[in-house]
Amino acid sequence: MSVIILLLIASLSVALLFLGAFIWGVRTKQFDDGYAPPLRMLFDDELPDPHEKETKPSNT
């Protein structure tokens, strides 16, 4: 029974450590990307597939 309590305390400690690291990263703006937004508009368009041909109805 004491092993379960020990593992519970250890897992909660690790979870709180990761939560603290995440909050620290958000507050210090580690996840802000100042480089990609100006370039994002250049890559939004999907390229047409050259192997896929559109069939046009014929007038015969």
10-23: per-residue pLDDT in tens?
A: 999 999 999 999 99
Count of residues for the chain? 60
pLDDT category, 42, cuts 50, 70, 90?
confident
Who contacts 31 (Cβ-Cβ below 8 Å, separation ≥6)? 25
Give residue 18's pLDDT.
Answer: 98
User: How far is it, in rounded angstroms, from Cα 23 to Cα 21?
Assistant: 6
- Taking the whole predicted model, whether its pTM rises above 0.75 is answered as no
Mean pLDDT confidence for 38-48: 71
User: How far is it, in rounded angstroms, from Cα 11 to Cα 21?
Assistant: 15
